[in-house]
């Protein structure tokens, strides 16, 4: 039996060192786990390297306070202080005197503060208005104020009949600068047509009220007179 039992070999120094290191690592892991558990339960411990920010103090719950009651007076009566009235002293009125009434013009028309008059009309050939030559007919001109300055955006009204057709149209000065800064032109037909004062031209304001008397226009059926030139000038009232 003594032959069967064999003595166990003694542990070498290297194996002993490995076992000790293993034990140390195991103990360190357990200690780290305990440390993390403690920090998790109380993160404000002084040895926590990353403590959370300090929370602001919380407000307490509101407490009930007594609000003093306010009472109106038993009765309240509005008092009105009388205000003395001022008495007006009648002033004598002057008897109306007769004054000369200005020329009212056509009944139903409102007189205006300025008027225009037309120069005697001229009939000339269309050599510069456009390139249509004799294949056109029209009326045009310019408008000047009392200082002979051109008046632009002045409304010019044309109405009447020409060749059996009724005409009722407006245009503004300044649209036909070939005649000048305040030039205006009405296109009437594609050929000269003769008429005897069946057309009339006048100036009107923005409300459509006349600022000139109507001027009857005579047209001709020849190429040398297919453009009627009508110049307007402001006159003193």
Query: How does pLDDT run across 63-108, given as a tens digit for each residue?
Result: 666 656 665 556 555 555 555 565 565 565 555 444 444 444 444 4
Residue 134: other Cβ atoms inside 10 A: 14
Confidence of residue 42 (pLDDT cuts 50, 70, 90): confident
C-alpha pair distances (Å), 77 with each of 81, 84, 97, 136: 13, 22, 58, 90
HSE-up of residue 24 (Cα within 13 Å, Cβ side): 6
Q: What is the pLDDT of residue 210?
A: 94
Residue linked to tokens 């000790």: 20
Q: Is the pLDDT of residue 135 over 90?
A: yes
Give the global pTM.
Answer: 0.52
Q: Is the pLDDT of residue 49 over 80?
A: no
Residue with tokens 């408008």: 143
pLDDT at res. 99: 41
Query: What average pLDDT does range 201-223 have in this prediction?
Result: 94
- At residue 222, the pLDDT reads 95
In whole angstroms, what separates CA 160 from the centre of its chain? Answer: 41
pLDDT at 228 over 70: yes
Asked if residues 186 and 169 have their Cβ atoms less than 8 Å apart, the reply is yes
225 within 8 A of 169, measured Cβ to Cβ: no
């Amino acid at each position: 039996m003594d032959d069967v039992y064999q003595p166990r070999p003694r542990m070498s120094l290297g194996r002993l060192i490995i076992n000790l290191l293993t034990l140390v690592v195991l103990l360190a892991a357990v200690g780290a786990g305990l440390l993390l558990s403690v920090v998790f339960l109380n993160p404000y411990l002084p040895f926590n390297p990353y403590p959370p920010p300090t929370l602001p103090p919380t407000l307490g719950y509101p407490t009930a306070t007594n609000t003093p009651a306010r009472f109106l007076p038993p009765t309240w009566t509005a008092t009105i202080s009388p205000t003395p009235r001022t008495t007006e002293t009648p002033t004598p009125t002057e008897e109306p005197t007769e004054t000369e009434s200005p020329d009212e013009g056509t009944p139903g028309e409102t007189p205006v503060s300025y008027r225009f008059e037309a120069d005697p009309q001229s009939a000339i050939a269309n050599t510069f208005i456009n390139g249509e030559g004799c294949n056109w007919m029209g009326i045009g001109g310019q408008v000047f104020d009392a200082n002979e300055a051109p008046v632009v955006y002045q409304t010019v009204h044309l109405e009447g009949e020409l060749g059996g057709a009724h005409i009722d149209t407006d245009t503004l000065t300044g649209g036909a600068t070939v005649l000048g800064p305040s030039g205006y032109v009405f296109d009437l037909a594609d050929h000269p047509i003769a008429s005897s004062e069946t057309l009339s031209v006048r100036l009107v304001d923005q409300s459509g009220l006349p600022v000139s008397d109507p001027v009857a226009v005579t047209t001709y059926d020849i190429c040398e007179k297919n453009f009627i030139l009508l110049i307007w000038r402001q006159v003193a009232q």
